[in-house]
Structure 1
Amino acid sequence: MSKLKGSCLCGKVSFEVASSFDKMFLCSCDQCRQITGSAFASNLFTAADQFKWLSGGDDIANYQMPGRDISKSFCRTCGSGVPWSSGDGTKMIVPAGSLQGEPEVAQMYRTFISEQPLWSSTLDQVEAHEGFPS
Protein backbone atom coordinates (compact mmCIF):
# COMPACT_ATOMS: atom_id res chain seq x y z
CA MET A 1 0.00 0.00 0.00
CA SER A 2 1.30 3.46 -0.86
CA LYS A 3 1.98 6.04 1.82
CA LEU A 4 1.59 9.78 2.16
CA LYS A 5 3.67 12.13 4.22
CA GLY A 6 2.29 15.03 6.16
CA SER A 7 3.50 17.81 8.42
CA CYS A 8 2.70 21.05 10.16
CA LEU A 9 3.42 24.35 8.38
CA CYS A 10 6.90 24.83 9.89
CA GLY A 11 7.88 21.18 9.36
CA LYS A 12 8.84 20.37 12.96
CA VAL A 13 6.06 17.78 13.24
CA SER A 14 5.95 15.18 10.47
CA PHE A 15 4.31 11.81 9.91
CA GLU A 16 3.65 9.06 7.41
CA VAL A 17 0.31 7.35 6.83
CA ALA A 18 -1.19 4.81 4.44
CA SER A 19 -2.76 6.74 1.55
CA SER A 20 -6.08 4.88 1.85
CA PHE A 21 -8.52 6.19 4.47
CA ASP A 22 -11.75 4.67 5.81
CA LYS A 23 -13.68 7.90 6.19
CA MET A 24 -13.50 11.64 5.73
CA PHE A 25 -15.78 14.00 7.60
CA LEU A 26 -16.36 17.58 6.49
CA CYS A 27 -17.97 18.83 9.68
CA SER A 28 -19.69 22.22 9.92
CA CYS A 29 -20.74 22.01 13.58
CA ASP A 30 -20.15 25.13 15.67
CA GLN A 31 -17.28 23.51 17.59
CA CYS A 32 -15.41 22.28 14.49
CA ARG A 33 -15.74 25.72 12.90
CA GLN A 34 -14.39 27.38 16.05
CA ILE A 35 -11.49 24.96 16.54
CA THR A 36 -10.37 25.26 12.88
CA GLY A 37 -11.31 28.89 12.19
CA SER A 38 -12.88 27.73 8.93
CA ALA A 39 -16.26 26.80 7.44
CA PHE A 40 -15.71 23.15 8.36
CA ALA A 41 -13.16 20.69 9.70
CA SER A 42 -11.85 18.19 7.14
CA ASN A 43 -10.67 15.11 9.02
CA LEU A 44 -9.63 11.71 7.70
CA PHE A 45 -9.91 8.53 9.78
CA THR A 46 -7.56 5.54 9.56
CA ALA A 47 -6.47 2.61 11.71
CA ALA A 48 -3.74 3.55 14.21
CA ASP A 49 -1.41 0.86 12.86
CA GLN A 50 -1.41 2.62 9.45
CA PHE A 51 0.16 5.75 10.99
CA LYS A 52 3.72 6.61 12.07
CA TRP A 53 5.23 9.76 13.55
CA LEU A 54 8.48 10.76 11.83
CA SER A 55 9.47 13.79 13.90
CA GLY A 56 8.28 16.38 16.38
CA GLY A 57 6.41 14.37 19.00
CA ASP A 58 7.65 16.75 21.70
CA ASP A 59 6.45 19.74 19.67
CA ILE A 60 2.77 18.71 19.83
CA ALA A 61 0.29 20.32 22.20
CA ASN A 62 -3.22 19.02 22.82
CA TYR A 63 -6.44 20.76 23.75
CA GLN A 64 -9.35 18.75 25.14
CA MET A 65 -12.59 20.68 25.66
CA PRO A 66 -13.74 19.99 29.23
CA GLY A 67 -16.82 17.79 29.39
CA ARG A 68 -16.97 17.25 25.60
CA ASP A 69 -15.49 14.85 23.07
CA ILE A 70 -13.81 17.70 21.18
CA SER A 71 -10.06 17.93 20.94
CA LYS A 72 -7.28 19.30 18.79
CA SER A 73 -3.59 18.56 18.51
CA PHE A 74 -1.30 21.21 17.07
CA CYS A 75 2.33 22.16 16.59
CA ARG A 76 3.59 24.31 19.48
CA THR A 77 5.69 26.41 17.08
CA CYS A 78 3.37 27.23 14.17
CA GLY A 79 -0.06 26.25 15.53
CA SER A 80 -0.95 23.98 12.60
CA GLY A 81 -3.38 21.17 13.30
CA VAL A 82 -1.73 17.74 13.37
CA PRO A 83 -3.14 14.20 13.75
CA TRP A 84 -4.44 12.84 17.04
CA SER A 85 -5.53 9.50 18.38
CA SER A 86 -9.16 8.53 19.01
CA GLY A 87 -10.19 8.10 22.62
CA ASP A 88 -9.82 4.32 22.47
CA GLY A 89 -6.52 4.53 20.54
CA THR A 90 -7.69 2.44 17.57
CA LYS A 91 -7.94 5.29 15.04
CA MET A 92 -5.88 8.27 14.00
CA ILE A 93 -7.71 11.40 12.93
CA VAL A 94 -5.67 13.26 10.32
CA PRO A 95 -6.46 16.87 9.30
CA ALA A 96 -6.71 16.58 5.50
CA GLY A 97 -4.82 19.85 4.97
CA SER A 98 -1.74 18.46 6.73
CA LEU A 99 -1.13 15.88 3.99
CA GLN A 100 1.29 16.26 1.09
CA GLY A 101 -0.54 14.56 -1.74
CA GLU A 102 -4.01 13.24 -2.44
CA PRO A 103 -5.53 10.61 -0.15
CA GLU A 104 -7.79 7.80 -1.31
CA VAL A 105 -11.03 7.97 0.68
CA ALA A 106 -13.57 5.13 0.92
CA GLN A 107 -16.46 7.21 2.30
CA MET A 108 -16.92 10.99 2.58
CA TYR A 109 -19.56 12.70 4.70
CA ARG A 110 -20.68 16.30 5.14
CA THR A 111 -21.97 16.55 8.69
CA PHE A 112 -23.91 19.12 10.73
CA ILE A 113 -24.84 21.07 7.61
CA SER A 114 -27.67 22.70 9.59
CA GLU A 115 -24.91 24.62 11.43
CA GLN A 116 -23.07 25.58 8.23
CA PRO A 117 -22.77 29.38 7.89
CA LEU A 118 -24.66 30.90 4.98
CA TRP A 119 -21.50 32.46 3.55
CA SER A 120 -20.01 29.01 2.99
CA SER A 121 -23.04 27.38 1.41
CA THR A 122 -22.44 29.04 -1.98
CA LEU A 123 -18.64 28.78 -2.27
CA ASP A 124 -18.94 26.94 -5.58
CA GLN A 125 -20.48 30.13 -7.01
CA VAL A 126 -17.67 32.45 -5.87
CA GLU A 127 -15.23 33.57 -8.58
CA ALA A 128 -12.13 31.36 -8.43
CA HIS A 129 -8.50 32.42 -8.98
CA GLU A 130 -5.26 30.42 -9.11
CA GLY A 131 -3.57 33.03 -6.91
CA PHE A 132 -4.50 36.42 -5.48
CA PRO A 133 -6.76 38.37 -7.86
CA SER A 134 -5.19 41.45 -9.42
Structure 2
Amino acid sequence: MTFEIEGDFENFYLCHCQHCQKDTGSAHAANLFSQSAKLTWLAGEDAVTSYTLPGTRHSKSFCKLCGSALPGTQLEGLLVVPAGCLDTEVSIKPTAHIFTASRAAWDEALEEVPVQ
Protein backbone atom coordinates (compact mmCIF):
# COMPACT_ATOMS: atom_id res chain seq x y z
CA MET A 1 0.00 0.00 0.00
CA THR A 2 1.69 3.18 -1.14
CA PHE A 3 0.38 6.65 -1.75
CA GLU A 4 1.59 10.21 -1.92
CA ILE A 5 0.00 13.41 -0.78
CA GLU A 6 0.76 16.65 -2.53
CA GLY A 7 -0.10 19.78 -0.60
CA ASP A 8 -0.45 20.92 2.96
CA PHE A 9 -2.68 19.99 5.86
CA GLU A 10 -4.73 22.78 7.42
CA ASN A 11 -5.65 20.98 10.64
CA PHE A 12 -4.48 18.14 12.85
CA TYR A 13 -7.21 17.11 15.26
CA LEU A 14 -7.12 14.70 18.17
CA CYS A 15 -10.74 13.54 18.19
CA HIS A 16 -12.15 12.10 21.39
CA CYS A 17 -15.64 11.24 20.08
CA GLN A 18 -16.94 7.77 20.85
CA HIS A 19 -16.79 6.77 17.17
CA CYS A 20 -13.07 7.56 16.97
CA GLN A 21 -12.45 5.72 20.24
CA LYS A 22 -14.10 2.64 18.74
CA ASP A 23 -12.23 3.06 15.42
CA THR A 24 -8.84 3.22 17.09
CA GLY A 25 -9.40 1.17 20.25
CA SER A 26 -7.72 4.05 22.04
CA ALA A 27 -8.45 7.37 23.70
CA HIS A 28 -8.65 9.35 20.47
CA ALA A 29 -7.99 9.42 16.75
CA ALA A 30 -5.18 11.60 15.35
CA ASN A 31 -6.23 12.81 11.91
CA LEU A 32 -4.85 15.38 9.49
CA PHE A 33 -7.29 17.35 7.36
CA SER A 34 -6.88 19.18 4.07
CA GLN A 35 -9.26 20.85 1.67
CA SER A 36 -6.55 21.35 -0.95
CA ALA A 37 -4.05 18.46 -0.77
CA LYS A 38 -4.27 15.75 -3.42
CA LEU A 39 -4.04 12.00 -2.70
CA THR A 40 -2.52 9.73 -5.35
CA TRP A 41 -2.46 5.96 -4.89
CA LEU A 42 0.79 4.47 -6.21
CA ALA A 43 0.02 0.84 -5.32
CA GLY A 44 -2.65 -1.12 -3.49
CA GLU A 45 -5.66 1.09 -4.17
CA ASP A 46 -7.70 -2.03 -4.94
CA ALA A 47 -7.29 -3.13 -1.31
CA VAL A 48 -8.72 0.11 0.11
CA THR A 49 -12.19 -0.13 1.56
CA SER A 50 -14.24 2.53 3.30
CA TYR A 51 -17.06 2.51 5.79
CA THR A 52 -19.43 5.30 6.80
CA LEU A 53 -21.39 4.80 9.99
CA PRO A 54 -25.07 4.91 9.02
CA GLY A 55 -26.81 8.12 9.99
CA THR A 56 -23.53 9.99 10.57
CA ARG A 57 -20.71 11.68 8.67
CA HIS A 58 -18.23 9.45 10.51
CA SER A 59 -16.23 7.41 8.02
CA LYS A 60 -12.95 5.60 7.81
CA SER A 61 -10.82 3.98 5.14
CA PHE A 62 -8.64 0.95 5.74
CA CYS A 63 -6.79 -1.86 4.01
CA LYS A 64 -9.07 -4.87 3.57
CA LEU A 65 -6.00 -7.16 3.72
CA CYS A 66 -4.31 -5.96 6.92
CA GLY A 67 -6.76 -3.52 8.54
CA SER A 68 -4.35 -0.54 8.54
CA ALA A 69 -5.96 2.89 8.67
CA LEU A 70 -5.67 4.78 5.38
CA PRO A 71 -6.47 8.22 3.95
CA GLY A 72 -10.08 8.81 3.06
CA THR A 73 -11.99 11.14 0.78
CA GLN A 74 -15.55 10.18 1.72
CA LEU A 75 -16.37 13.71 2.87
CA GLU A 76 -16.70 15.82 -0.26
CA GLY A 77 -13.81 18.24 -0.69
CA LEU A 78 -11.93 16.96 2.35
CA LEU A 79 -8.94 14.65 2.61
CA VAL A 80 -8.68 12.94 6.01
CA VAL A 81 -5.39 11.19 6.79
CA PRO A 82 -4.73 9.17 9.94
CA ALA A 83 -1.41 10.58 11.17
CA GLY A 84 -0.10 7.13 12.09
CA CYS A 85 -0.39 5.83 8.53
CA LEU A 86 2.27 8.20 7.21
CA ASP A 87 5.83 7.00 6.64
CA THR A 88 7.09 10.58 6.66
CA GLU A 89 7.25 13.10 9.46
CA VAL A 90 4.09 15.09 10.08
CA SER A 91 4.82 18.73 9.33
CA ILE A 92 2.38 20.26 11.83
CA LYS A 93 1.59 19.75 15.50
CA PRO A 94 -1.95 18.91 16.63
CA THR A 95 -4.12 22.02 16.37
CA ALA A 96 -6.92 20.98 18.75
CA HIS A 97 -8.52 18.30 20.89
CA ILE A 98 -12.11 17.92 19.68
CA PHE A 99 -15.22 16.26 21.13
CA THR A 100 -13.64 16.26 24.57
CA ALA A 101 -17.04 15.87 26.25
CA SER A 102 -16.78 12.22 25.12
CA ARG A 103 -13.21 11.85 26.39
CA ALA A 104 -12.49 8.42 27.91
CA ALA A 105 -12.54 8.45 31.71
CA TRP A 106 -9.01 6.98 31.81
CA ASP A 107 -7.64 9.65 29.42
CA GLU A 108 -6.35 11.95 32.17
CA ALA A 109 -2.85 12.92 33.25
CA LEU A 110 -1.32 10.36 30.87
CA GLU A 111 1.98 12.22 30.99
CA GLU A 112 2.25 10.96 34.57
CA VAL A 113 2.10 7.28 33.55
CA PRO A 114 5.54 5.71 34.11
CA VAL A 115 7.65 4.90 31.06
CA GLN A 116 9.01 1.36 31.07
Higher strand proportion (structure 1 or 2): 1
Q: CA deviation at 1:113?
A: 1.3
CA distance in 2, matches of 1:49, 1:111: 22
Moved more, 35-44 or 14-23: 14-23
Which of 35, 39, 43 is matched with 2:23 structurally?
A: 35
**Structure (1 or 2) with the larger CA radius of gyration:** 1
CA distance in 2, matches of 1:48, 1:19: 7
Does residue 15 (structure 1) correspond to residue 24 (structure 2)? The answer is no
Paired residue for 1:46?
Answer: 34
Does residue 57 (structure 1) correspond to residue 45 (structure 2)? The answer is yes
So what's the TM-score if we normalise by structure 1? 0.78
Q: Which runs of 4+ in 1 moved over 4 A?
A: none
- Letter of the structure 2 residue corresponding to residue 112 of structure 1: F
CA distance in 1, matches of 2:109, 2:9: 28
CA distance in 2, matches of 1:87, 1:119: 31
- Letter of the structure 1 residue corresponding to residue 51 of structure 2: Y
So what's the TM-score if we normalise by structure 2? 0.89
CA distance in 2, matches of 1:103, 1:21: 9
What is the aligned length?
Answer: 116
Question: Aligned-residue CA RMSD in angstroms?
Answer: 1.8
- Letter of the structure 1 residue corresponding to residue 96 of structure 2: Y
Paired residue for 2:91?
Answer: 104
CA distance in 2, matches of 1:71, 1:23: 17
